[in-house]
Structure 1
Amino acid sequence: MTGWLSSFFGRRRYFAGSIALFTIASFFCGSSHTLAELVFWRILQGIGGGALLSTSQAVLFEVFPRSEYGTAMAIFGMGVMVGPTLGPTFGGWITDTLSWPWIFYINLPFGALAFMLTLTYLRDSRFAQRVQRVDWLGLFLLAAGIGALQTMLEHGERNDWFSSREIVALAALSGTALVSFVLHELRTDHPVIDLRILKNLSFAAGVTFAGALGACLYATVFVLPVYLQQLQGFSANQTGLVILPGALASAFTMAFVGRLQERVSPRLLVSLGACLFTLAMWQWSHFTTLSGGRDFFWPLIVRGVGLGLVFVPLTNLAISGLSMDRIPAGTGLFNLTRQLGGSIGIALSATLLPRFTTQARAVLADHVTRSSQVAWERLTATTQSMIARGTPPGLAETKALRVIDLAVTRQATMLAFTKIFLLFGFAFLIALPLLLFMKRRSGAAAGGSVAH
């Protein structure tokens, strides 16, 4: 909706207002005394923050000539890709050092500065088409469809998915609303989201690839901290420090890839990045319950470099074929798809983790019985150790069985993480054929499209 809202309110007022809303909501989030208050202000914070990403991209695509899109998106992408990765590092440090409200208060000076800079330097788009009327039906269908889908994805694993009437109802509401939204938007003269831009095959393929990128990126961002804190016993701050090298690797890669894609095919860069991401996930699959900081360093570096190679060329491949007046709608749809892909990836990983753990535990338990010589020796040794520490013999064996049960569950959970790492690693490769439908527009061609 960012493209439509920019046209309706004017890009300058919409962007500045979104920053102001995000900043004010951040203050009240930190000042909240109840969960209901926090949820309310987080919703408003999300409404304000939702405009920033797509509108910023649209501004860059308009301000920079097409020959410099790579450099512009490289600088922009450093923040987009590195920010969510650095968040756990600084968030963990702030939480451990100060208190949780400060993870919201830290936004205030940056928000105030961004607000002043926006009013000083940002101008309305030269290519914006004035919105003649508000598509209230489209707005309602979009809000209902996306809202129901997000709620379903967040509550699905907790409610055992489609065995729950609530999830079935949300799925039906989401499907009905989104299908109706698509049909309505294709027929109306003033759509909230101009879905007709999907007729551009290169853009449609890029949007689909963005969904796969979001699923794999956010799923692994979600799963890794769970592994580090649940099996390794890391604190929030320690987890952030482990993730930090990968974020820096993404930043350094993006700093070079903007210029590099002027000489190297963007499709080749995206392919190389996807292969490096899969290699990193294969390396992650070799993590164990005994892995340490050195074991995490290089696999995270490889993943960071891979993602750095993907983001900038993919964005340029998808957007470069659009005319200037359609770029705001294009960037909004591109980012929406990536975010929805991320929600699906997180929901899928949250669902598969306990299921894979249950399956692995069942297999391991079949080999940990009293008839197993190794298991019997382990049980005996653990029991004797507890007796030596003063535990009564009858209670010692019960505690020893509990220790072995916990060890089996721990290893089963580790095997589940291994499967998830490999699953999302190879899932990214499946999206690579979409690159065949993406073509980079030449400067002349692109300029002709704009002139026309």
Structure 2
Amino acid sequence: MSTASPFALPDAHAAREISGARLALLTFALSLATFIEVLDSTVTNVAVPAISGSLGVANSQGTWVISSYSVAAAIAVPLTGWLARRLGETRLFVGAVLLFTLTSLMCALAADLHVLVACRALQGLCSGPMVPLSQTILLRTFPPAKRTLALALWGMTVLLAPIFGPVVGGYLIDTLSWEWIFLINLPIGLFSFVVCATMLRQDARRGEHVPVDLIGIALLVVGVGALQAMLDLGHDAGWFDSTLIVTLAIVAALALVSLLLWEAGEAQPVLDLSLFRDRTFSFCVLIISLGMASFSVVGVVFPLWLQAVMGYDAFHAGLATAPLGILALVFSILVGLYAYRFDARVLATFGFLVFASVLWWDTHFTLTMTFTQIVTPGLIQGIGLPCFFIPLTAATLSRVPDHQLAAASSLSNFLRTLAAAFGTAMSVTLWDHRATFHYATLAQSVTRESSGTQHVVATLHAAGVSGAREAGALQQITMQQAYMMATSDMFFMACVTCVVLAALMWLTRPRRGAAMTLGH
């Protein structure tokens, strides 16, 4: 039985009655909600020094502002499908948007680090349902013939927010204060809440009263929380040289294995593992997760290289990354309008190969490159991002029944986000390890007999550098070159991964015009 509720999801017939300007307004509101959630997961990355200085704590403590949010969000995302069945998709979504907005205000008003970390954890819990449910509601609201466009609009916000996050964060901190990276959410979040709550209320139905899988929820919270904490803290703690990281790894492994075993036999599981019986869903989730892990290499190592090696500040490093979003924006719209004419595998393969080609180009970067030479490959890379992300997202859900759509969206988004977290954590560690390796190799060739060393020493002498300063300068130059080579290594590994993913795409069997058949 179902009864009317003001904040539940309209049925399919009512959803299709939203059209024209009202549909455009609803789409804009849903996209804004997605944008601020994804933006908030990255905008604080450049704010840690400002927050730490303002609250009188060390930078290492300030990073808990990031970690608390990511751990809480990682727990909440996979719970979305189960919560949506109990509360109703739209009621859960508009409630999450409102609470996310209120916790943003609480973060801005926090007077000490402990309060801020607690508020960020609450904000992360509220953010969990926003991205997967915005995707689900968009797909249900758009008529079948326009669902590829709906996915493109959703994908555009997911892709562009992390690109512009560091730029927006840097600008707000430099011109105003760190509190504004949270205050900016207030008008956007309230607008999205009012529009969605008003337009998605007619002909509604309640969620199902499914049993509470307490053991599954407990295992999920412990396992995912420990795993995300391990990823966030691993690099700074020295990974498995740290007792804390080893403990977190053991707890995560035991809890997650137990979760899989428990959910396999549970009648009403919190995670619907039956989705993985479909080969297309399984392979597409794997491919898009690995693809976003590769994308995280660009998102993490590239700005690190610009700041640590090339001497850029955080704001200009963000500006160097931002051009990636220009053609990504244009091609997101084009893919949305015309993707239904193509096999999703063709578009995704094209996108991965564009990404691979640009990453190969990036392996030839040098220490003497100008700003224009650095940003040009990123501009072209924007073509490939929506070409693999949007068709893959459509293909992932193309064979999912209507009643499992929210669960499939939350599960695929969770695994994609977790893979990106893995990619981020591993990228920084591997980048440092490769730089150490190259430094040891290069240092062996820095001898007085080496013609290259003689040339550098002559240049230093001409600049008035000699004695102890000469040795320090040689060491710095060698380290810069080592990190440049390590950066090329990371780009090469990401390039090879994209080629492999382009081939794996052909093991899937998405429906033609995949997004048009969603919710069959």
Q: For structure 1, which segment, 312-321 or 126-135, has the greater mean C-alpha deviation from structure 2 after superposition?
A: 126-135
Q: For structure 1, which segment, 269-278 or 26-35, has the greater mean C-alpha deviation from structure 2 after superposition?
A: 26-35
For residues 106-134 of structure 1, the C-alpha deviation after alignment (integer angstroms, 9 at most, x for no partner) is 11100111111121012499787613221
In structure 1, C-alpha distance between the alignment counterparts of 2:363 and 2:381, rounded to whole Å = 13
Q: Could you tell me which of 385, 408, 416 is aligned with 2:478? A: 408
SS of equivalent to 1:441 = coil
Aligned to 1:216: 294
In structure 1, C-alpha distance between the alignment counterparts of 2:440 and 2:130, rounded to whole Å = 47
Aligned to 1:69: 147
For residues 48-74 of structure 1, the C-alpha deviation after alignment (integer angstroms, 9 at most, x for no partner) is 112111001111222223332211111
Q: Could you tell me which of 40, 48, 51 is aligned with 2:118? A: 40
For residues 299-355 of structure 1, the C-alpha deviation after alignment (integer angstroms, 9 at most, x for no partner) is 102211101101110011110101110010000011001101101101111111111
Taking the TM superposition and a 5 Å limit, the aligned residue runs for 1:291-440 are 291-379=369-457, 381-383=459-461, 385-386=463-464, 396-440=466-510
* CA contact 1:10–1:124 (8 Å) conserved in 2: no
In structure 2, C-alpha distance between the alignment counterparts of 1:400 and 1:449, rounded to whole Å = 68
In structure 2, C-alpha distance between the alignment counterparts of 1:273 and 1:445, rounded to whole Å = 18
Q: For structure 1, which segment, 122-131 or 233-242, has the greater mean C-alpha deviation from structure 2 after superposition?
A: 122-131
Taking the TM superposition and a 5 Å limit, the aligned residue runs for 1:53-92 are 53-92=131-170
* CA contact 1:21–1:48 (8 Å) conserved in 2: yes
Q: Could you tell me which of 173, 180, 196 is aligned with 1:102? A: 180
In structure 1, C-alpha distance between the alignment counterparts of 2:204 and 2:216, rounded to whole Å = 26
Deviation at 1:384, TM superposition (A): 6.2
2:290 partner amino acid = A
Aligned to 2:29: none
* CA contact 2:349–2:503 (8 Å) conserved in 1: no
Deviation at 1:165, TM superposition (A): 2.5
Deviation at 1:162, TM superposition (A): 2.3
205 and 448 in structure 1: CA distance in 2 versus 1, 3 angstrom threshold? closer
In structure 1, C-alpha distance between the alignment counterparts of 2:385 and 2:518, rounded to whole Å = 32
Q: Could you tell me which of 325, 332, 338 is aligned with 1:260? A: 338
In structure 1, C-alpha distance between the alignment counterparts of 2:189 and 2:113, rounded to whole Å = 24
136 and 15 in structure 1: CA distance in 2 versus 1, 3 angstrom threshold? same
SS of equivalent to 1:130 = coil
SS of equivalent to 2:349 = helix
In structure 2, C-alpha distance between the alignment counterparts of 1:294 and 1:445, rounded to whole Å = 38
In structure 2, C-alpha distance between the alignment counterparts of 1:125 and 1:162, rounded to whole Å = 54
Q: Using structure 2 for the length normalisation, give the TM-score.
A: 0.81
381 and 81 in structure 1: CA distance in 2 versus 1, 3 angstrom threshold? closer
* CA contact 1:18–1:52 (8 Å) conserved in 2: yes
Deviation at 1:410, TM superposition (A): 0.9
* CA contact 2:321–2:378 (8 Å) conserved in 1: yes
SS of equivalent to 1:100 = coil
Taking the TM superposition and a 5 Å limit, the aligned residue runs for 1:261-300 are 261-300=339-378
| Bigger radius of gyration among the two | 1
Q: For structure 1, which segment, 209-218 or 358-367, has the greater mean C-alpha deviation from structure 2 after superposition?
A: 209-218
Aligned to 2:33: none
188 and 129 in structure 1: CA distance in 2 versus 1, 3 angstrom threshold? farther
RMSD value, Cα:
2.2
* CA contact 1:216–1:345 (8 Å) conserved in 2: yes
SS of equivalent to 2:399 = coil
Q: Establish whether residue 142 from structure 1 lines up as the match of residue 240 from structure 2.
A: no
* CA contact 1:27–1:108 (8 Å) conserved in 2: yes
Question: Aligned residues: percent identity?
Answer: 32
Q: For structure 1, which segment, 213-222 or 437-446, has the greater mean C-alpha deviation from structure 2 after superposition?
A: 437-446
1:415 partner amino acid = M
Q: Establish whether residue 14 from structure 1 lines up as the match of residue 92 from structure 2.
A: yes
SS of equivalent to 2:445 = coil
Q: For structure 1, which segment, 345-354 or 209-218, has the greater mean C-alpha deviation from structure 2 after superposition?
A: 209-218
Deviation at 1:239, TM superposition (A): 2.0
Structure 1 residue runs without a partner (length 5+): 388-395
Q: Using structure 1 for the length normalisation, give the TM-score.
A: 0.92
Taking the TM superposition and a 5 Å limit, the aligned residue runs for 1:110-149 are 110-123=188-201, 130-149=208-227
* CA contact 1:11–1:125 (8 Å) conserved in 2: no
Q: Could you tell me which of 287, 308, 317 is aligned with 1:230? A: 308
Q: Could you tell me which of 260, 270, 291 is aligned with 1:192? A: 270
* CA contact 2:281–2:399 (8 Å) conserved in 1: yes
In structure 1, C-alpha distance between the alignment counterparts of 2:317 and 2:376, rounded to whole Å = 15
In structure 1, C-alpha distance between the alignment counterparts of 2:407 and 2:161, rounded to whole Å = 24
For residues 418-440 of structure 1, the C-alpha deviation after alignment (integer angstroms, 9 at most, x for no partner) is 11111112112222333223223
Q: For structure 1, which segment, 352-361 or 220-229, has the greater mean C-alpha deviation from structure 2 after superposition?
A: 220-229
Aligned to 1:390: none
In structure 1, C-alpha distance between the alignment counterparts of 2:519 and 2:330, rounded to whole Å = 33
239 and 102 in structure 1: CA distance in 2 versus 1, 3 angstrom threshold? same
100 and 125 in structure 1: CA distance in 2 versus 1, 3 angstrom threshold? farther
Structure 2 residue runs without a partner (length 5+): 1-78
